């Protein structure tokens, strides 16, 4: 189905005298963030071609910008056929941006070659590495590791590496991932959708006052964990660390916001820490999420694999210290001793000690967080990264 939403805010970066809007088709196979589609719609005449996500949303929230949204079938093969049909029919688009390197990307790359369309693969996560995490972590029935599925992902990655001519990736880590597929295509690093520093910023009020406003517990320390519940996000190690901190007698609570919050609460019960966990559905990323960071004393990103990791960046922009695993794109932003604390993947003991150090040394936490905020302003500010993407997609 399709829909047209009215634009209700002016473009932030386009020249008001430039009335030419390039027609961009954004192909989304596995869901995308509303901040990305709204940012693209500021600058392009945007059509989002998205696969229907069973028990999920193709776009994380309702977009606010004007765009056409076409939701296709849930079957990946059927969706790939739809992508081929839309991109090879007339009138066509000026630019194609396809998320990932699976079946939809294969259809987009083939159609792009046939129609001589500039086609870019936007890589936000190392899909096959995320999938490999299913071998080590327990998870829901739809997250079971199947060798043939993993082989299919790797095969598609390598085929698209041969067909694709241009990658846009979020981090140096993801650039290395796509290079490992055997690609000789152009690879540009653009950390879209960036961080909107007009929204994610230090609060004027103390955390306790914000907690009171949000109905959160005001006593003790509050740790924020906003990752979705998935094998690659490793909530188990975080819950193990929380239990250890409680055994030490620390007054700590954990705040979790995600679409899988009920599953997270069930895991907290198994670990015996449910009374210290506040978990609800995900917030709109630009309408209240910043207050969760501002109410917290610490943000933890416990990923086993990560393409970049926006939650730590948003936390730093809000003046909140970060503890994160030393893996993937996180190693480019959360640098131990400089912009936060890091620990080895899956090491609950080291995570426990990092959390304790961040909470027990507020002056050091402020120093590292200030360095992190400066990094955000320099490299990840929203308008800057969308300006870079705009220039890249339009070409010389």
pLDDT tens across 77-126, in order?
Answer: 999 999 999 999 988 899 999 999 999 999 999 999 999 999 999 999 99
Closest CA to 52 of 37, 70, 26: 70
1-10, 65-74, 177-186: range with lowest mean pLDDT: 1-10
Name the class of domain 207-378: alpha beta
Closest CA to 80 of 98, 59, 67: 98
Residue 181 CA to residue 384 CA, distance in Å, equals: 29
Q: How far is CA 6 from CA 3, 31, 42, 213, 378, in A?
A: 10, 22, 12, 32, 32
Question: Taking the domains of the chain in order of start, what are their residue ranges?
Answer: 23-194+382-394, 207-378
pLDDT of residue 141: 60
- What's the whole-number mean pLDDT along residues 59-82? 96
Report whether 62 contacts 91 (CB < 8 A).
no
DSSP 35: H
Closest CA to 28 of 128, 123, 100, 82: 100
- What's the whole-number mean pLDDT along residues 375-388? 97
Q: How many residues does the chain have?
A: 396
What DSSP string runs through 201-219? Answer: ---SS-HHHHHHHHT---S
Q: Write the CATH number of the domain with boundaries 23-194+382-394.
A: 3.40.50.2000
**Residue found by looking up tokens 């992190």 in the block:** 372
**Residue found by looking up tokens 């056409």 in the block:** 68
Residue 210 CA to residue 221 CA, distance in Å, equals: 13
Cis peptide before 91 (omega within 30 of 0): yes
- What's the whole-number mean pLDDT along residues 351-363? 98
Residue 314 CA to residue 243 CA, distance in Å, equals: 26
Given a cut of 60, whether residue 154 has pLDDT beyond it is yes
The burial of 353, by beta-carbon neighbours within 10 Å (0-12 exposed, 13-18 middle, 19 or more buried), is given as: middle
Same fold, 23-194+382-394 and 207-378: yes
Given a cut of 80, whether residue 7 has pLDDT beyond it is no
Q: How far is CA 185 from CA 48, 167, 329, in A?
A: 24, 7, 21
pLDDT bracket for residue 1 (50, 70, 90) = very low
pLDDT of residue 254: 98
Residue 145 CA to residue 151 CA, distance in Å, equals: 11
pLDDT of residue 20: 67
Q: How far is CA 37 from CA 60, 66, 108, in A?
A: 10, 10, 18
Q: What are phi and psi of 322, to 5 degrees?
A: -130, 140
- What's the whole-number mean pLDDT along residues 212-234? 94
Given a cut of 90, whether residue 348 has pLDDT beyond it is yes
SS3 content of the chain, % helix, strand, coil (to 5): 45, 15, 40
DSSP 304: S
Q: What is the pLDDT of residues 274-286, one digit of tens each?
A: 999 999 999 889 8
pLDDT bracket for residue 138 (50, 70, 90) = low
- What's the whole-number mean pLDDT along residues 42-60? 94
The burial of 141, by beta-carbon neighbours within 10 Å (0-12 exposed, 13-18 middle, 19 or more buried), is given as: exposed
Angle of helix 362-379 relative to helix 310-317, nearest 10 degrees? 110
Q: How many helices (H) does the chain have, and how many strands (E)?
A: 14, 13
**Residue found by looking up tokens 């080590």 in the block:** 136
pLDDT of residue 92: 82
Residue 23 CA to residue 145 CA, distance in Å, equals: 39
Given a cut of 80, whether residue 330 has pLDDT beyond it is yes
Given a cut of 50, whether residue 4 has pLDDT beyond it is no
Count of Cβ atoms closer than 10 Å to residue 261 Cβ:
18
Rg (CA), the chain: 21
pLDDT of residue 16: 36
Q: Give the percent of the chain with pLDDT over 70.
A: 93
Report whether 382 contacts 191 (CB < 8 A).
no
pLDDT of residue 354: 98
């Amino acid at each position: 189905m399709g829909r047209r939403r009215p634009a209700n805010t002016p473009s932030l970066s386009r020249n008001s005298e430039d009335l030419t809007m390039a027609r961009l088709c954004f192909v989304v196979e596995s869901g995308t963030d509303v901040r990305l589609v709204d940012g693209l719609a500021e600058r392009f005449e945007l059509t989002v071609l998205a696969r229907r996500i069973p028990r999920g949303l193709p776009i994380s929230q309702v977009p606010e910008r004007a765009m056409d949204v076409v939701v296709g079938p849930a079957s990946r093969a059927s969706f790939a056929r739809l992508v081929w049909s839309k991109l090879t029919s007339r009138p066509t688009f000026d630019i194609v941006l396809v998320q990932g390197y699976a079946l939809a990307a294969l259809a987009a790359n083939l159609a792009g070659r046939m129609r001589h369309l500039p086609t870019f693969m936007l890589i936000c996560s190392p899909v096959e590495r995320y999938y490999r995490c299913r071998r080590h972590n327990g998870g829901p029935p739809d997250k079971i590791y199947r060798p043939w599925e993993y082989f299919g992902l790797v095969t598609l990655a390598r085929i698209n590496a041969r067909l694709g001519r241009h990658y846009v990736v979020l981090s140096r880590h993801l650039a290395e991932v796509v290079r490992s597929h055997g690609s000789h295509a152009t690879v540009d690093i653009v950390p879209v959708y960036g961080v909107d520093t007009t929204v994610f910023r230090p609060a004027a009020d103390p955390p306790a006052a914000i907690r009171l406003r949000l109905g959160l517990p005001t006593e003790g320390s509050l740790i924020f964990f906003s990752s979705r519940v998935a094998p690659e996000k490793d909530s188990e190690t975080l819950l193990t660390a929380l239990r250890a901190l409680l055994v030490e007698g620390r007054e700590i609570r954990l705040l979790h916001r995600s679409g899988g919050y009920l599953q997270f609460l069930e895991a907290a019960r198994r670990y015996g820490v449910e009374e210290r966990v506040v978990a609800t559905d995900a917030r709109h990323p630009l309408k209240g999420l910043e207050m969760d960071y501002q109410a917290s004393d610490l943000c933890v990103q416990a990923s086993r694999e990560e393409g970049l990791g926006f939650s730590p960046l948003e936390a730093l922009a809000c003046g909140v210290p970060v503890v994160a695993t030393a893996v993937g794109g996180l190693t480019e932003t959360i640098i131990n001793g400089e912009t936060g604390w890091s620990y080895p993947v899956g090491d609950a003991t080291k995570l426990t000690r990092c959390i304790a150090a961040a909470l027990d040394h507020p002056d050091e936490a402020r120093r590292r967080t200030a360095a992190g905020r400066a990094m955000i302003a320099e490299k990840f500010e929203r308008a800057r990264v969308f300006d870079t993407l705009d220039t890249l997609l339009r070409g010389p």
